[in-house]
Amino acid sequence: DLDEVQIGMILSFATLCNMALTIPIGYMIDYHGRKSVILKSLYVTSAASLLFTFSSDFLTMSLVALILGIGTSGSQQAPLAMATDVTINEPRGLSIGLYRIFNDIGFIVGPMFLGFLADSFNLVMPFYFMSMLLLVNAVLILVFAKETYSIKKNQKMLKKE
């Protein structure tokens, strides 16, 4: 069994990994495009959610949390960059504000719903649900989202730096 400090540490590991990758992922977003990074991030985050169901000790959960941090580092930045790209001729502040509202709604409703799933079924059900939801999201992005970034133009610019 994990104590409260270990649980807090595991959550911190994911956040620390996410923070450590902020700049490198930013370069990837600008070099490889938004859609590619979003898809890879969703796949990694989905895998981490599923791996948590097989984790029962501090070390394993810590490693999975690091994988989660890798996934979430791109899935937070790349959609915001994509939203910025598509609002060039729009009121950008309003558009980003709306993006944030919907993102924050997910952070409010998500934990409550996942808690409901855990209470109604078992503690691993929220992880299965999240893994599946992330994969569905990836499929929707793969099929419907268009790359919003001129990769070739910006690869030339980045190589000059």
Range of lowest pLDDT (3-7, 46-50, 98-102):
98-102
Q: What is the 8-class DSSP label of residue 90?
A: S
CA-only gyration radius of the chain, Å: 17
Is 139 among the domain residues? yes
pLDDT average, residue stretch 83-88: 87
Domain-embedded: residue 34: yes
161 located within any domain? no
SS3 call for 57: coil
Residue 52: name the closest of 128, 116, 145, 117 by CA: 128
Give the count of domains, the chain.
1
Per-residue pLDDT tens digits for 58-78? 999 999 999 999 999 999 899
Average pLDDT of the chain is 93
Tokens of 39: 């898809």
pTM of the model: 0.89
pLDDT at residue 152 in the model: 67
- Segment 121-133, tens digit of pLDDT: 999 999 999 999 9
Q: Tell me the residue range of the domain where 48 lies.
A: 4-153
pLDDT one-digit tens code per residue, 20-44: 999 999 999 999 999 999 999 999 9
CATH code at position 14: 1.20.1250.20
158 assigned to some structural domain: no
Residue 55 in domain: yes
Handedness of CA 99, 103, 104, 108 (dihedral sign): positive
Is 159 a domain residue? no
